[in-house]
Amino acid sequence: MEFRTVGIVGAGQMGNGIAHVFATSGYQVLLNDISQDALNDAIGRIQKNTARQVSKGQMSEEDRATALSRIRTTRELGDLGGTDLVIEAATEREQIKDQIFAGLQPSLEPHTVLTSNTSSISITRLAAKTDRPEKFMGFHFMNPVPVMQLVELIRGIATSPETYAALLKVVESLGKTAASAEDYPAFIVNRILIPMINEACYALYEGVGNVASIDASMKLGANHPMGPLELGDFIGLDTCLAIMNVLHDGLADTKYRPCPLLVKYVEAGWAGRKSGRGFYDYRGDVPVPTR
């Protein structure tokens, strides 16, 4: 399997970062979203981030221009059918992902490999609903994609060794490091990380500390670069809640019960940075704790 063209479904925070790293690594990229505004915003963000790389001496202006020329956009999902590799990077909801793969199926070339950037959902279950479970894998990038070095590779029960070996080479070509994870709820990174954020929510919920003290304690006491509540806001509290629900449902262990305060924040629409409020209020010049 050789990949030259990559189709990416979803132009949000993850999708535009994935498009960025593939384009700067020499791949032709076709970026899809149902929203033209989202596509425009994604291109603007990629332009801004690559300009920052030029200013830091990480690439030349000529290389930047060439990379940007490799990215095309489309609102038609079927246009991605002719690519060698499809990466689904849509909302962390299984029903939406199933609809995307079903919508792609009529236009797919026989050789096209399907992947999902899901951070928690069963790869085996997603793959089983397609016509090519042997050519389906989890391809989980970390956020922000251009900066973070890890990519989790998750094989479903039907994934072929050839598909895994080919995607391992793709990760290497991006200058990143692959970690192989088994297909269990939330895989490796989020199996460990999101329950920590959920536990920080419980500490806040139970009055053990306020937002500022909990985050300061983990930054200064555990040498974390970002406090768990600040990190939750960065990831998106709706995403954190979705992953906790996958863990709770999939493993049936009460230690994965989502914190009621986390649920309440998501119900209020306070999803973190992207919505302007979460455990911090981002609407002013400086983030202010909301509790």
Residues labelled as active-site residues:
119, 140, 152, 190
Q: How far apart are CA 219 and CA 217, in angstroms?
A: 6
Q: Is the peptide bond before 144 cis (omega within 30 degrees of 0)?
A: yes
User: Which secondary structure element, helix H or strand E, spans residue 115, and what is its range?
Assistant: strand 113-116
The answer for residues whose C-beta is within 8 angstroms of residue 64's C-beta and 6 or more apart is: 50, 51, 53, 54
Helix (H/G/I), strand (E/B), else coil: 98: helix
Q: 207: buried, middle or exposed (CB in 10 Å: 19+, 13-18, 0-12)? A: exposed
Q: How far apart are CA 117 and CA 275, in angstroms?
A: 22
Q: How far apart are CA 78 and CA 83, in angstroms?
A: 10
The answer for residues whose C-beta is within 8 angstroms of residue 214's C-beta and 6 or more apart is: 200, 203, 204, 208, 227, 228, 229
**Contact assessment for residue 154 and residue 164, using Cβ atoms and an 8 Å cutoff:** no
Q: How far apart are CA 194 and CA 251, in angstroms?
A: 14
- Strands 5-9 and 113-116, sheet pairing: unpaired
Helix (H/G/I), strand (E/B), else coil: 130: coil
- Cα angle 71, 73, 75; round to 5: 165
**Contact assessment for residue 24 and residue 47, using Cβ atoms and an 8 Å cutoff:** no
- Cα angle 204, 210, 213; round to 5: 120
